[in-house]
Amino acid sequence: MSCYFRQNSDTEIAIPRYFESSGVTYYTVRVRVVQVEWLVERRYKDFDELNEKLVEEIAISKKLLPPKKIVGNKNPSFLEERRQKLEKYLRELMVFFRIQIPRALAEFLEFNKYDIIYLLQDLATLFIESGEALLSNRKQFHFSALQVYAISERLNLPCPPENIENRGKFDFSHVLDFCTQLEILKVTPVKGHDSFASDYNAVDVPIGSSNIIPKKLKFNLNAFRNIHTLKFYALPPENILDIGLLKPNLQKICVHNTTTTSINQILLCDNVHKENVIVNSPTKADIAVQGPITSSSASCTNWPKINELNFSGNLLTQIDESVRLVPQLRTLVLEQNRLKNIRNLAELPHLQTLTLSVNLISDCINWHLELGNLITLNLAQNKLKSVKGLRKLLSLVNLDLSCNLIEDIEEVDNIACLPLLETLRLTGNPLASIVDYRSRVLARFHDRASEIFLDSEKGTHKELDTALVLSALHVSFLRKKSQQ
């Protein structure tokens, strides 16, 4: 991202070509500030309007701009001559405004899209004019990666000369004031394109007409120190260089549609040695000597208030031991990843809701050793044939097993024994296509059949009557079997 006020000595303006579209001639302006480049397409009419503004506001000479021509203005030789003169005009303006670019010229050349200072001027204007209305809705705001990067970089810059920021409505303090009031922060590669937020390839697509790649924008989030929810879409967590000031207050993290393969890439996003970090839970002896872990005494890597993590739509292949860093976690959403099993969840004693739908899980052996206090479990759209490993999840209330590979009605016995179970989804399994499927499943719950919501519905009177008969027959069969 450019920063003209510090890099004006290595700035270049050129008009390499012109082209015609729908009978109108456009001139392609190329702006380069050090290594950052972008293109702007302008008509001669746009140049004329710019010149009028500069004459009125700055009192430059009106004759700097090459004059209009009514007849013969489509002649190739004339257009080439005009291209050269317009290029000379812009270069003379940039020499004249070497220290400070007037706002009209900055917008004409789109510095307000790709330059730190001028982009933040747009944000400052937005926040001072509409900040209260924006904050009235849940104190949530959606930033692009470029905007967050600009804020992060501006904090590391010396204050620009006062006439550049023009104080008043362009003052950077308006941006900081807005950011510190936010409670929910959403960051995507760009704004205005919802498809980019759902495509992890978007981080490799240049922003607008520039050569700026979102994946290469590294930033800190310390300007947003009071947020309790962070939402990251299609951006690798490694883009975050420093998140330390957010950790004491953050309660929820959402990271979606990235190429992240391991949870430590998120929870240790600002730790350059994350692969070598050994995460240890405090022992009883530690607590006896040091007292309970608090936000002030905890390791710098801990997240003391996180109660929800939503990492759906990534490429996670494992649940690594970094989950120990969120000991207060209650909800964990890992939908649409590449998980084949679960690990390290025994370190989360407060975990109540676990979503593992749309993964590659084919067995659930002894899951009660990992999920002792779980209330809601979603395993939809996996590859399960047996659910025997769930039979000891005694606190389970809600279970979704839809769209798996369960065929045998006997498998229902493994979950019908759960004393607190209230809702069960089995639709989409081969089991659901058998005759009297609902009655036969409800029959396995015996006296509790009327309490169960099967596939979001309680049993009808007819289904429950049939289930009662099937239950009696099944009990009789088991007694005879036990006597043999």
Per residue in 436-469, pLDDT tens?
A: 999 999 999 999 999 999 999 999 999 999 999 9
Residue 195 has pLDDT above 70, yes or no: no
Residue 92 has pLDDT above 70, yes or no: yes
**CA distance from start to end of the chain:** 80
Q: Would you state the pLDDT for residue 228?
A: 95
Give residue 288's pLDDT band: very low, low, confident or very high (50, 70, 90): very low
Architecture of domain 4-111: 2-Layer Sandwich (3.30)
Strand runs (DSSP E) across 362-482, as ranges?
376-378, 398-400, 423-425, 453-454, 457-458
Q: pTM of the entire structure?
A: 0.85
Residue 478 has pLDDT above 80, yes or no: no
SS3 25: strand
Give residue 291's pLDDT band: very low, low, confident or very high (50, 70, 90): very low
Q: Would you state the pLDDT for residue 97?
A: 85
Confirm whether 4-111 and 361-483 share one CATH topology.
no
Q: Which CATH class is domain 361-483?
A: alpha beta
**Whole-angstrom distance, CA of residue 354 vs CA of residue 213:** 35
Q: Would you state the pLDDT for residue 272?
A: 52
Q: Would you state the pLDDT for residue 9?
A: 86
More confident residue, 282 or 23: 23
Give residue 292's pLDDT band: very low, low, confident or very high (50, 70, 90): very low
Return all residues near 174 (Cβ < 8 A) that are at least 6 apart.
123, 124, 127, 128, 131
Domain ranges of the chain: 4-111, 361-483
Which is nearest to 439 in space by CA: 398, 480, 409, 415? 409
Q: Would you state the pLDDT for residue 295?
A: 35
Residue-wise pLDDT tens digits, 16-45: 999 998 889 999 999 999 999 999 999 999
